[in-house]
Structure 1
């Protein structure tokens, strides 16, 4: 038995060969890609108006209606009627 270095020899003669090293490299690249994809996904959902993807999206018409009600341009009854009209 030869104790040394070579394509299939490690430091102590217990080498795994090139294929096992390549497999480890591919596994780590897949893990790294998954981490990067996760970070990108988190950045995108937190950058959306409303804070996160799972919040109910509000219609622009409803937002304008709420602003008009808050400014006192319309009364409560008109607000509730228009809100019901917009919501369906």
Structure 2
């Protein structure tokens, strides 16, 4: 941007609202809670996968047990997540 004189400066000047310039980032607590949530989700899925895999291996062959256990533990994981979130909302009411 090239300025030739003061009139040119005022024409090209941009005004910002103070609230637009302030960055609203996550607080440290929010960052830690999101990290903990991520690792709890991984741990819960891993435990469910291990339990269902062990149960299915004792009943059917390994080739069938692992994919079935993976799908079943994924479904159980999503049901548990949804149930926990609904339970927390119910408790907070």
TM-score grouping bracket, smaller chain normalisation: 0.3 to 0.5
Normalized per residue, the structure richer in helix is 2
Which structure's relative contact order is higher, taking Cα pairs within 8 Å and 6+ residues apart?
2
Per the normalisation by structure 2, the TM-score is 0.39
Per the normalisation by structure 1, the TM-score is 0.41
The structure with the larger Rg is 1
